[in-house]
Chains A and B, each alone.
Chain A
């Protein structure tokens, strides 16, 4: 059977980027490597009428995968999926067949899980059960950017270890991801050793790098359905920070100046703020409420090379939507950041160890 690694983790913990990075790395080491996401989330309706996961679309395009979407991602869950319990065998068969197809001609398959490892337990298709089916090594990605006490992470690892073991699968290792700067000491000195003591390898310590998950202006424009009023040529700018301009210009300037690669969100009628914003050269200025700005604003933006987007939503809704975009992965953003992602894999993740153990086993 083909070698496979199952990347799992809870919520937005960086599974997709690490999966992408591992595949890129393995390929550069001469291994034919494929991508598989057995259970994914319906995030976008395709022209065919079927639903697909944006992560899958992004990876398929960025990794140049020949296989059709419904092979790479055979089961796409919408909000209501319990109905699947009536046909557990169909689901299992579909996943199994897809895996078979992806295995052919490849040395390794890197499998990415649903955002909840336990999903589809009701029909025996949770992460441990599938991992058992494919004979994969399971690696858990844990985000350290938590609002709880950071020490909870150790207990979480213990919990998922139990869950896997219940199905007779070993938790091969953990990658501690997005570690905020002040916690690095604690994570290295205390948390990682505690996890090792549970009998789980720590296969990577990745510090927080906002740039890695930053979407581009184009991503934002597309997902907000924004009209690009100015600066078509600067849509590849990264957006790392979101600022709302609702204060007086003299108060705003302090914030605008401090932000790097920011999206500044303000009303189209706030000429004073927009002009001030443009001068601090942000990545983009997003005008809300469908309020078309004064012509002079666009002239300034053109001169300053700052793109201007116009959206129909109010400022609050816009920011909410931006937060969603921030966690999204698009083919564009993967391509633009390819080098940075590989860099993380090479420096912060024990990819060689992962590779050796998978190939060896």
Chain B
């Protein structure tokens, strides 16, 4: 288990230096000064003693066992040093040196070789090109950072080393404490998943913060983060969410449609909270490190000024919190003791002349109400306000009601500083502005929702046994053997039909005669459609002709489509024309799948038809989805209202749509080559009458 990394019995610093300007010196000094209790061996062939420690020429010369080696030598000799460590039996390497994959060319090969050495000797490697790691409980600071953080309950894992040094410096002033800090570097071997797993079991950590630019093993990330999220919250900030950002981070936007990104879907699936800004990340962290998880999202607000109270109320609603309705006891108690001008309904305004005792009374009263799950206290410094005393009162009340989270916003600067420090020292998040308090509270509530969600989806995945896997497999294998990536419409329809999704009869034809024959066999009316892998939107070029009722009309439509294709898409490769039985119109929805390179298949549901691309009324879930998730997907969209029926319309067969989603879910898991799939439109008929896939597009890899 990677957790051993944080508490080695002995360690070597390879490349330790007497020169204070060298990284090798800083690392050794940080280790010594952090109060590390284990044995420390500097290694440097040119020195006898560094920082009063005996220095060794090589790691092989060290008489005792070495658990961990921190390597700071130039990249060119890292491989030799790593091999020596392997022979010595070192368990963990922290490679701080740069000059690996990040420089391209030879660096890529060097990193591969480093990984091989690690595998060969069974050594796990952090880095290369990283800052190192810190554990404040061991204690051990194996980094070249300038500052040692305060002890605390927050673990911070970062792909950016510089971000760590900056945050460390900043955290001192904020009074924020850390349990562990890990700089991932190039993630040659150990990555965020290993550390989430290890720190998940660390009793000194209450919340895990993560900064990443890319996640390589998406599926594994979800599996591990899901398990850990059930125990403690994980908050992530992902660099490169926008296109421009992704360019800088050289990662994916993962953008699938509009603002949806696979990262958001993945984080949700794994119960990981996504922070949008660094300030959000640490505001969440402050809340999670000492406050309890609320039982619900009904919050109370207590303020000594109207304006900030109103703003906080607005923000709370915007962030998905609900303003608690007090019970009668609370209201009458507040009314009896507070001045007549005070607002006694939520938000509670204790007025500008409120001293600490009035705050204390209000907090006590409100928190004793079972309709209140959490509290935001707002304080603005006015003439007779007692910030410090009020802070102490809040601390007292927090002790009295340890199960209900309290977040404070002491708006101001110098006047409230001392009070804010008292709160933070006692584990109550205190912010300078109300929006941050709301964010912190909403983080707590979102995490609770995730926990509830996990309970809800404990149910097993739905599995269909009436599917014809062999037939589906044959279709895909045939397409592959012909070197194609796009399935013909007839093939795509046969594929989904094999998985129990109904489609109209469809035949691919290559001549007018064949078209007429097919049409009269299936019976009129029919639809003719162009079949070409390069024509994505058939209607755009007039490649679909509906409501064809006779042999002659079939011939005419056949010719019309061919001539349109020649005119509007002359370079497109034509497979022929598909003849399809025309079916009665239903309510149009779209169902689809797209494969994200990191996280795998995303199932999509939304409003369908030719306006689908414009409406962008879609919901996404990562496979595998459960029945509960499929239902949620449908309910999240506006299409749901349409399916339920508008203005006296009878409801459509929503159950059949959910059935299709679950069948697709199974299809893409059993045939993972599918990278893209669209059923648009899926006609949904009235309740009990099912649905039918009118057009199916499938692309494989």
Which of A's residues lie within 8 Å of B, judged by CB?
147, 180-182, 184-186, 189, 208, 210-211, 248-250, 254-255, 257-260, 270-272, 275-276, 279-281, 294-300, 302
Determine if B510 and A185 form an interchain contact, defined as CB atoms under 8 angstroms apart: yes
Determine if A147 and B570 form an interchain contact, defined as CB atoms under 8 angstroms apart: yes
Q: Beyond A249-B255, A257-B676, is A279–B597 a contact (Cβ under 8 Å)?
A: yes
Q: List 6 A-B contacts (CB under 8 A).
A: A181-B576, A182-B562, A211-B483, A258-B486, A258-B533, A275-B251
Q: Which of B253, B256, B575 contacts A272 (CB 8 A)?
A: B253
Determine if B250 and A271 form an interchain contact, defined as CB atoms under 8 angstroms apart: yes
Determine if A295 and B104 form an interchain contact, defined as CB atoms under 8 angstroms apart: yes
Additional 12 contacts, C-beta under 8 A, given A257-B485, A295-B104: A180-B573, A181-B574, A189-B511, A210-B573, A211-B483, A249-B253, A258-B533, A258-B699, A259-B485, A280-B701, A298-B104, A299-B108
Determine if B257 and A250 form an interchain contact, defined as CB atoms under 8 angstroms apart: yes
Whole-angstrom distance from the CB of A326 to the nearest CB of chain B?
12
Determine if B484 and A299 form an interchain contact, defined as CB atoms under 8 angstroms apart: no
| Residues 493-526 (chain B) with a chain A CB within 8 angstroms | 510-511, 513-514
Residues in chain A near residue B597, CB distance under 8 A: 279
B252 adjacent to chain A (CB < 8 Å): yes
* Interface pairs A-B: 8 shortest CB-CB: A185-B511, A296-B250, A295-B104, A271-B247, A182-B574, A250-B255, A272-B247, A257-B699
Determine if A250 and B252 form an interchain contact, defined as CB atoms under 8 angstroms apart: no
Whole-angstrom distance from the CB of A155 to the nearest CB of chain B?
18
| Residues 663-678 (chain B) with a chain A CB within 8 angstroms | 675-676
Residues in chain A near residue B536, CB distance under 8 A: 254-255, 258
Which residue of chain A has the shortest Cβ distance to B111 in the bound complex?
A299
Which residue of chain A has the shortest Cβ distance to B109 in the bound complex?
A302
Residues in chain A near residue B510, CB distance under 8 A: 181-182, 184-185
A interface footprint on B678-701 (CB within 8 Å = 1, 0 otherwise): 000000000000000000000101
| Residues 588-605 (chain B) with a chain A CB within 8 angstroms | 597
B243 adjacent to chain A (CB < 8 Å): yes
Residues in chain B near residue A270, CB distance under 8 A: 247
B101 adjacent to chain A (CB < 8 Å): yes
Residues in chain B near residue A255, CB distance under 8 A: 536
Instruction: Kindly state the separation between the CA atoms of A3 and B513 in the bound complex, as whole angstroms.
Output: 44
Whole-angstrom distance from the CB of B281 to the nearest CB of chain A?
24
Which residue of chain B has the shortest Cβ distance to A181 in the bound complex?
B574
A interface footprint on B622-665 (CB within 8 Å = 1, 0 otherwise): 00000000000000000000000000000000000000000000
Instruction: Kindly state the separation between the CA atoms of A280 and B485 in the bound complex, as whole angstroms.
Output: 11
Residues in chain A near residue B243, CB distance under 8 A: 248-249, 272
Instruction: Kindly state the separation between the CA atoms of A317 and B533 in the bound complex, as whole angstroms.
Output: 26
Residues in chain A near residue B573, CB distance under 8 A: 180-181, 208, 210
Determine if A181 and B252 form an interchain contact, defined as CB atoms under 8 angstroms apart: no
B463 adjacent to chain A (CB < 8 Å): no
Determine if B104 and A182 form an interchain contact, defined as CB atoms under 8 angstroms apart: no
Instruction: Kindly state the separation between the CA atoms of A280 and B595 in the bound complex, as whole angstroms.
Output: 11
Instruction: Kindly state the separation between the CA atoms of A180 and B511 in the bound complex, as whole angstroms.
Output: 13
Whole-angstrom distance from the CB of A106 to the nearest CB of chain B?
38
Q: Beyond A182-B577, A254-B536, is A302–B485 a contact (Cβ under 8 Å)?
A: no
Whole-angstrom distance from the CB of A310 to the nearest CB of chain B?
14
Instruction: Kindly state the separation between the CA atoms of A189 and B102 in the bound complex, as whole angstroms.
Output: 62
Considering residues A180, A181, A182, which has the most beta carbons from chain B within 10 angstroms of its beta carbon?
A182
Determine if B534 and A276 form an interchain contact, defined as CB atoms under 8 angstroms apart: no
Which residue of chain A has the shortest Cβ distance to B240 in the bound complex?
A272
B458 adjacent to chain A (CB < 8 Å): no
Which residue of chain B has the shortest Cβ distance to A271 in the bound complex?
B247
Determine if B250 and A258 form an interchain contact, defined as CB atoms under 8 angstroms apart: no
Instruction: Kindly state the separation between the CA atoms of A260 and B536 in the bound complex, as whole angstroms.
Output: 15
Determine if B101 and A299 form an interchain contact, defined as CB atoms under 8 angstroms apart: yes
Whole-angstrom distance from the CB of A114 to the nearest CB of chain B?
27
Instruction: Kindly state the separation between the CA atoms of A294 and B102 in the bound complex, as whole angstroms.
Output: 11
B566 adjacent to chain A (CB < 8 Å): yes
Residues in chain B near residue A181, CB distance under 8 A: 510, 573-576
Residues in chain B near residue A300, CB distance under 8 A: 250
Residues in chain A near residue B483, CB distance under 8 A: 211, 260
Q: Beyond A181-B510, A302-B108, is A257–B533 a contact (Cβ under 8 Å)?
A: no
Determine if B255 and A275 form an interchain contact, defined as CB atoms under 8 angstroms apart: no
Whole-angstrom distance from the CB of A128 to the nearest CB of chain B?
33
Residues in chain B near residue A189, CB distance under 8 A: 511
B246 adjacent to chain A (CB < 8 Å): yes
Whole-angstrom distance from the CB of B135 to the nearest CB of chain A?
31
Instruction: Kindly state the separation between the CA atoms of A58 and B484 in the bound complex, as whole angstroms.
Output: 29
Residues in chain A near residue B485, CB distance under 8 A: 257-260
B103 adjacent to chain A (CB < 8 Å): yes
Residues in chain A near residue B511, CB distance under 8 A: 185-186, 189
Q: Beyond A147-B570, A181-B573, A299-B104, is A257–B256 a contact (Cβ under 8 Å)?
A: no
Residues in chain A near residue B251, CB distance under 8 A: 275
Q: Which of B103, B486, B574 contacts A180 (CB 8 A)?
A: B574
Whole-angstrom distance from the CB of B566 to the nearest CB of chain A?
7
Determine if A294 and B534 form an interchain contact, defined as CB atoms under 8 angstroms apart: no
Which residue of chain B has the shortest Cβ distance to A210 in the bound complex?
B573
Which residue of chain A has the shortest Cβ distance to B513 in the bound complex?
A185
Whole-angstrom distance from the CB of A153 to the nearest CB of chain B?
15
Instruction: Kindly state the separation between the CA atoms of A208 and B105 in the bound complex, as whole angstroms.
Output: 41
Residues in chain B near residue A249, CB distance under 8 A: 243, 246, 252-253, 255
A interface footprint on B470-491 (CB within 8 Å = 1, 0 otherwise): 0000000000000111100000
Residues in chain A near residue B577, CB distance under 8 A: 182
Instruction: Kindly state the separation between the CA atoms of A84 and B483 in the bound complex, as whole angstroms.
Output: 49
Instruction: Kindly state the separation between the CA atoms of A211 and B513 in the bound complex, as whole angstroms.
Output: 30
Whole-angstrom distance from the CB of B148 to the nearest CB of chain A?
33
Instruction: Kindly state the separation between the CA atoms of A276 and B574 in the bound complex, as whole angstroms.
Output: 27
Whole-angstrom distance from the CB of B484 to the nearest CB of chain A?
7
Which residue of chain B has the shortest Cβ distance to A248 in the bound complex?
B243
| Residues 547-598 (chain B) with a chain A CB within 8 angstroms | 562, 566, 570, 573-577, 597
Instruction: Kindly state the separation between the CA atoms of A280 and B577 in the bound complex, as whole angstroms.
Output: 28
Which residue of chain A has the shortest Cβ distance to B486 in the bound complex?
A258
Determine if B250 and A147 form an interchain contact, defined as CB atoms under 8 angstroms apart: no
Q: Beyond A181-B573, A272-B246, A275-B252, is A258–B534 a contact (Cβ under 8 Å)?
A: yes
A interface footprint on B349-387 (CB within 8 Å = 1, 0 otherwise): 000000000000000000000000000000000000000
Q: Beyond A249-B243, A249-B253, A297-B250, is A257–B562 a contact (Cβ under 8 Å)?
A: no
Residues in chain A near residue B246, CB distance under 8 A: 249, 271-272
Whole-angstrom distance from the CB of B568 to the nearest CB of chain A?
12
Instruction: Kindly state the separation between the CA atoms of A255 and B536 in the bound complex, as whole angstroms.
Output: 9
Instruction: Kindly state the separation between the CA atoms of A208 and B513 in the bound complex, as whole angstroms.
Output: 22
Instruction: Kindly state the separation between the CA atoms of A147 and B568 in the bound complex, as whole angstroms.
Output: 11
Residues in chain A near residue B101, CB distance under 8 A: 299
Which residue of chain B has the shortest Cβ distance to A294 in the bound complex?
B250
Considering residues B484, B566, B575, which has the most beta carbons from chain A within 10 angstroms of its beta carbon?
B566
Whole-angstrom distance from the CB of A151 to the nearest CB of chain B?
13
Residues in chain A near residue B562, CB distance under 8 A: 182
A interface footprint on B182-211 (CB within 8 Å = 1, 0 otherwise): 000000000000000000000000000000
Which residue of chain A has the shortest Cβ distance to B483 in the bound complex?
A260
Determine if B566 and A147 form an interchain contact, defined as CB atoms under 8 angstroms apart: yes
Determine if B576 and A250 form an interchain contact, defined as CB atoms under 8 angstroms apart: no
Residues in chain A near residue B253, CB distance under 8 A: 249-250, 272
